């Protein structure tokens, strides 16, 4: 199978969206979106996006043998007055994504997915929302 970044995006979405605990923390479904929240997005929400994606050969004898290293941004938005809601959601996201084989699907194998950084939450005065950005480094390949 040829590499398609859509497979990784789907794996991230499915992992987050199919978790009952995370959905309860978010207040239901439809709170996980790609790239940026829209005007109709329900808060709190989790936004995921690809920062960059690079292929590295692991078998130089085969043209289609590569391991991909992808950086994913996970940003959590909350309109709660305190950051406790953000912290609880981030903790659950880390439980779901951080580790080895966390994003395995029928299409991809995930060698590792580790949270690289957690920035301090900031208050957006226009949205009147707390924003908590994190970055994950994923090493993966197609099956």
Q: For strand 122-124 and strand 129-142, is the pairing parallel, antiparallel, or unpaired? A: antiparallel
Structure tokens belonging to residue 79: 């309109």
Helices (H) and strands (E) in the chain, counts: 3, 6
Average the pLDDT over 61-65 and give the result: 55
The per-residue pLDDT for range 27-47, each reduced to its tens digit, is 998 999 999 888 888 999 999
Is the pTM value of this prediction over 0.85? yes
CA 16 to chain centre: 8
SS3 state at 71? strand
The per-residue pLDDT for range 84-112, each reduced to its tens digit, is 999 999 999 999 999 999 999 999 999 99
- pLDDT given for residue 40 in this prediction: 87
Which residue do the tokens 């199978």 mark? 1
Q: For strand 122-124 and strand 45-57, is the pairing parallel, antiparallel, or unpaired? A: unpaired
Distance CA 87, CA 97 (A): 15
- pLDDT given for residue 60 in this prediction: 53
pLDDT band at 56 (very low <50, low <70, confident <90, very high): confident
Going from N- to C-terminal start, the domains of the chain cover: 5-142
Distance CA 115, CA 108 (A): 19
Distance CA 106, CA 95 (A): 21
Region of residue 80 (phi > 0: left; psi between -120 and 50: alpha; otherwise: beta): beta
Architecture of the domain delimited by 5-142:
2-Layer Sandwich (3.30)
């Amino acid at each position: 199978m040829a590499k398609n970044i859509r497979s990784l995006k789907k794996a991230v979405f499915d992992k987050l969206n199919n978790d009952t605990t995370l959905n309860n923390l978010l207040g239901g479904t439809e709170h996980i979106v790609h790239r940026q929240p829209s005007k109709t997005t329900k808060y709190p929400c989790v936004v995921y996006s690809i920062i960059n994606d690079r292929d590295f050969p692991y078998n130089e004898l085969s043209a289609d043998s590569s391991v991909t290293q992808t950086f994913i941004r996970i940003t959590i938005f909350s309109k709660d007055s305190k950051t406790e809601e953000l912290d609880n959601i981030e903790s659950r996201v880390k439980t779901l994504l951080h580790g080895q084989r966390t994003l395995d699907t029928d299409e991809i194998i995930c060698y590792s997915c580790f949270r690289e950084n957690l920035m301090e939450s900031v208050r957006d005065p226009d949205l009147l929302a707390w924003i908590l950005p994190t970055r994950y480094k994923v090493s993966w390949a197609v099956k």
